[in-house]
Each structure stands twice: as structure tokens, then as C-alpha cells.
Amino acid sequence: MTNEEVAKDLIRQFGENVYDFDEPYGMLTLSTRREQIISMIEYLRDHPLYQINFLTTLCGIHYPDDPEPARKFCVVYQLHSLVNNFRIRIKVFLAENDLHMPTLTNIYQSANWMERETYDFFGIIFDGHPKLIRILNMEDMDYFPMRKQYPLEDPTREDKIDALFGR
Amino acid sequence: MNTVLDISNKNIPGSDLPAKSEESVQYVNELTTLNLGPTHPATHGIFQNILQMDGEKIVSGEQTIGYIHRAFEKIAEQRPFYQITTLTDRMNYCSSPINNFGWHMTVEKLLDIKVPKRAEYIRVIMMELARIADHLICNGILGVDTGAFTGFLYLFEERENIYEIYEEVCGARLTTNMGRIGGMERDLSPEAIRKIRAFLKRFPPIMREFEKLFNRNRIFMDRIIDVGGITAERALNYGFTGPNLRAAGVDYDVRVMNPYSSYQDFEFEIPVGKSGDTYDRFMVRNEEIWQSLRIIEQALENLPEGPYFADAPEYYLPPKKEVYRNMEALIYHFKIVMGEIDAPVGEVYHAVEGGNGELGFYLISDGGRTPYRLHFRRPCFIYYQAYPEMCKGLTLSDAIVIMSSMNVIAGELDG
């Protein structure tokens, strides 16, 4: 079971809905569309040979500087086959005005809080999630703090500007 | 303890729990809502659980987390790599060296730095000591929560000795900031080796005594056998890793499946349980302590000679003596301390076996001095979701021991 085999099989199954194949540091990485993500994760889990049955992480990324409007946000799923010790990373890119993803909670219970965390930090809405509310931040927060436009510290503070080093 | 009041307001945490009007027909008593925490002494940490109780039985529960959330992922986006080490300390503060080295190994993987054997062996020794300290706390406190204080006192003396070894190796005790990107900041001193050897000699009899006190203790067994059991299938579905998953019978251990830091050189066994209940978790941790001792013994016995840091001048601080006399060393020193070194573009995931399971670092670098995005896979955060399911139908005292045996660490939970 190599990266190449899995990649070829996924292309056979999902055609042009899988793209951007890469192998950074040996981990198969690919992108798909949000319509396919659930069926793809289900396919990988139920495949008799792959048995990719463990959700390692689920997290969001914000790319405000990406020129393409459809690639402003990204949700990354990292899955692991404990049987074959095979890891795979699947990305779904989203446009800023349409931050909706289908929920994974029907397949993996562990996705519940991970999706809540992603919503909490990035504002990505997981449709069908049983209880999509903030998890780590306080409930009356009115923005999504991990987005790049929010600075770490209060921007009005002047004692922390380090102009000498161009930051 | 309050009786259930009107919970029509949907914004209250726990408000989607079964309302008494619809479902209480099947319960013996009127349902009561019990706030377990956030400042409950038996939860040892800031955890809130809103439990719905039918008399003494827990019907359902809902956790509220985030009380000590410190936005590490956001802070990490502003910091050069070596400054992030201090953030990792504060996640699982019961086994900080594992977090430190896990982060260093992630960066080394990104930069393609080959760490010399000696540094790897020193890391293994420190990581296994940290694992022992972590498990000692968990199992010692499980005893306290079931009413037996003695074991805790026996073990905490040994934990103190482990912290003295940390002190000898890196100068700190709890938030260790141990090691550097590329190796260790200093070699194991003869005093440190003496302390480790003394620990290896003194600790086993105490551990044996602890096991004698608890493992076949009738009262203890009655309290924890078949309490909070979880099947392997459910545990995997909930994303369990580490001792909690192994207690459910799945032999997944990152040290064996994806060996890092020369773990393939050592001989050790992975203990697994059967029913995933509190007793199994307790026993798995006990056995892991013995296996960790085995690993430390082997590493100390075969400690290779050679350098204890890699040749990575852009990330490894030059010795102070050099900095004062050598131009190049001074420049590197300045650049490292000011964090002016650009990392290569890349995307890397690295996992280590932390005290509680797979501790992962997902690092995306866009070529700048700081990570573009850093996500921590915090095992506690993921498996704590299963807590209400594990408590269902049990009593409050069981809920306390389940939380204790799951080893939920507030710092790691909230990140």
C-alpha cells in the first residue's frame, strides 16, 4: 500500500474531484471538493484493504493572501490507518463567502469537538453538526480569532512595536 | 444540588439534555442537575460537567471546557520556532519533556536535521522519565480519589526525584524547556547519570510496594472494575490514543508504529487491556511504568559516545565561549536569539507518544521566521469527548474516578 496506489485508486473512484496531489515528508496529501469529502472518507474507511479508520486531526487554515477567492479557507483532515500504518491528508478549500462544510460527526465521534474548535477559531460552519457552538473561547465573542486579520495583541499598544526588525 | 428548572433557553450549556417534562417518566426520581466543577476539588483541574442525575445515577452529562485556554496556536504564529518550545511545556505539564522534544523533532523533520545518536538516547531517557512521572500522578491520584492516600505519598516522593533529574539536565522542574532544535543544550553530566542510576535502583521496590497495595486490593478493585468501560470500537471512533486506547485492547503505540528518536533500538512491550474500564487503564499505566524503566536501563547502558547536538548552526545556539571570540558564532547567536532565520516552505506532521497518547504537531511553514499555522493534536481534547458516555448509568463517585483514570490534563485539554 503506497501513496501512489492510493492516489491512483482515488482518481479512479472520484475522477477530477481529487487534485493537487503531493507528498510532503512522505505523507500523501490531496485536495477535494466539499461535496465529495464525506463519501471519500467513508470510502477510505470501508475499503477492505486500506481501512483508514482513525481521524487524527481536523483543523482549519486561513489564507487571506491567496489570489483565488475560492481558496481563502482550508479544512484539513488527517486520517490514519492503524492496520496499515498509512497516513493521508485531505484538504478542502472554501471561499470566504461560503464557509460551509458537511459534518463528519456521523462517521467519527471524535470530529465533534474538532469541528467545534474549527468553527470557534475560523467561523467555518459544519452543516448537520449536533451542537455547533464555541468550545474554547467565551460564548459572547463576536469574531473568529484565528483568522489572520486579527492581530495577537491589541494593535493600539505602542510599547510592543519592534520597528527595528521590520515586524 | 438544584432541581431542574426551566431550561427552555437554548444558550445555556447542557440545555439540550433531556428535559424533565418529556423523558422523566422513565426515571425513578425527578431529575436533578448537578454542577460538577469548575472548581471541584476532586476534578483536579478546572473542568465543569453539568450532570443530569436520576437520584444517584448519572443520566447524561455535558462538559464545558476552555477555562484555561491560552490561544497557543495563535501565539505560535507570532513566534520563531525555538520560542514555541515554552508553549509546548504548558500543554501537558505533567510530562513537559515529551512535548518539548516532540516539537523539536517536528522542526527537525521540517529542516531535515539529522540528530546524533547520543542526543536521541538522552531524549529517550528523559521522555521515559517524563512518562513515568505522568503515569505516577495519574495512578497516584486515582488512589486518592478512591480514598487511599498512602500510595500517592509513596509515589510523589519518586516524582520529586524525577524532577530533580530534570533540574540536573535542564535547570527547570515543571515547565522544562528541555533540549534544543538539533539536540540537547548540554550533555548529561556525571551527576545527572548518577541521579538516574540512583532512581533506577530506588524506584522499583517502591513501585512494587504501590502495586502490592493496590493491584489486588479488594476495595480498590470493587470501586474501579467495570467502571467507565469502553469498547475498542467506540474508543477508536472517539479518537482515543495512548494508555486509554490500549486499555480498550488496541495495541497502538506511536513509539512502535512510527519509531522516532531511535525507539526501534530498544526492547519493550506494549501492555494492552481488555475491557477499557478504569481498572484496565490503571493496570496499563502501571505496566507502562515498568516498560519505561526497561527502556531507560537499556538507553543508559548503551548510551553512545559522540556529540549531543546536530550540526545546525542556524538553529542550535553556539557555545557562549565562541560567541565572545568568533564573528560567525556571534552572528548566529544574534540571529537565533532575535528569531531572524527563515524556515523553508513545507508542511509536516509529526507525532510522538505523549503521556496521554498521540501528541501531534501539524506545522505549516510559508518560508517566514514563524510558522504560518501550527496545530497541536492534543490527545486529552479529543478523548475527553467520550466522558459523558462513559459515565452514563454510574454514580457520581464513579464519574470522579473515571475522570481521574482518563488523566485529563487541563493545560492539554484547553491548549
B284 with B174, same domain?
A: yes
Residue at B328 is within a domain: no
Numbered residues of chain B with Cβ closer than 8 Å to any chain A Cβ: 11, 16, 65-66, 69, 71, 73-75, 77-78, 109-110, 234, 236-239, 250, 252, 257-258, 338, 340, 346-349, 351, 358, 360, 362, 364, 372-373, 375, 377, 381-386, 414-415
- In this prediction, residue A152 has a pLDDT band, given cuts at 50, 70 and 90, of confident
pLDDT for res B43: 79
B206 with B238, same domain?
A: yes
How far off is chain A from B122, nearest CA to CA, in Å? 25
pLDDT for res B14: 46
Q: What's the sign of the alpha-carbon dihedral B133, B137, B142, B146? A: positive
Nearest to A131 among B16, B73, B250 (CB): B16
pLDDT for res A158: 65
pLDDT for res B148: 87
pLDDT for res A114: 94
pLDDT for res A163: 60
B397 CB-near residues (< 8 Å, 6+ apart):
B223
B183 with B210, same domain?
A: yes
Residue at B332 is within a domain: no
How far off is chain B from A9, nearest CA to CA, in Å? 24
Domain of B23 in residue numbering reads as: 2-64
* CATH number of this structure's domain A3-150, picked from the four choices 3.40.630.10, 3.90.1150.10, 1.10.10.10, 3.30.460.80: 3.30.460.80
B27 with B150, same domain?
A: no
Residue at B337 is within a domain: no
CA distance B275 to B247: 7
Q: Is B53 helix (H, G, I), strand (E, B) or coil?
A: strand
**What share of chain A in percent tops pLDDT 70?**
91
Q: Which residue has the cell 468501560?
A: B229
Contact B370, B79 (CB under 8 A): yes
B76 with B56, same domain?
A: no
Nearest to B382 among A113, A134, A136 (CB): A113
B227 with B249, same domain?
A: yes
Whole-number Cα distances in Å, A151 to A64, B342, B381 = 14, 21, 25
Quick check: A164 pLDDT over 60? Answer: no
How far off is chain A from B237, nearest CA to CA, in Å? 5
Contact A125, A119 (CB under 8 A): yes
Cβ-defined contact of A87 to B375 (cutoff 8 Å): no
Cell of A90: 485531505
Tell me the domain boundaries of chain A.
3-150
Candidates B187, B180, B188, B189; CA nearest to B313 is B180
Maximum pairwise Cα distance, chain B: 82
Domain end position, chosen among B14, B39, B64: B64
B10 with B101, same domain?
A: no
Q: In what order do the strands lie in the sheet with A28-32?
A: A18-22, A28-32, A86-94, A73-81, A54-62
Quick check: A70 pLDDT over 80? Answer: yes
Contact B233, A51 (CB under 8 A): no
Contact A111, A96 (CB under 8 A): no
Residue at B316 is within a domain: no
Residue at B188 is within a domain: yes
Residue at B170 is within a domain: yes
- Please state the rounded mean pLDDT for residues A32-43: 93
Residue at B324 is within a domain: no
Domain count of chain B? 2
ipTM at complex level: 0.92
**Average pLDDT along chain B, 415 residues, taken 10 residues at a time:** 40 48 63 87 84 90 91 90 92 92 94 94 95 94 90 90 94 91 91 95 94 92 91 93 93 93 93 92 94 94 93 89 92 88 92 93 92 94 93 91 91 89
Q: What's the sign of the alpha-carbon dihedral B280, B286, B288, B291? A: negative
Q: Which of residues 93-152 of A touch B (CB under 8 A)?
A: 108-110, 112-114, 117, 121, 131, 134-139, 145-146, 152
Residue at B167 is within a domain: yes
**B156: exposed, middle or buried (C-beta count within 10 Å: 0-12, 13-18, 19+)?**
middle
B23 with B95, same domain?
A: no
> Which H or E element spans position B108?
helix B96-111
CA distance A92 to A90: 7
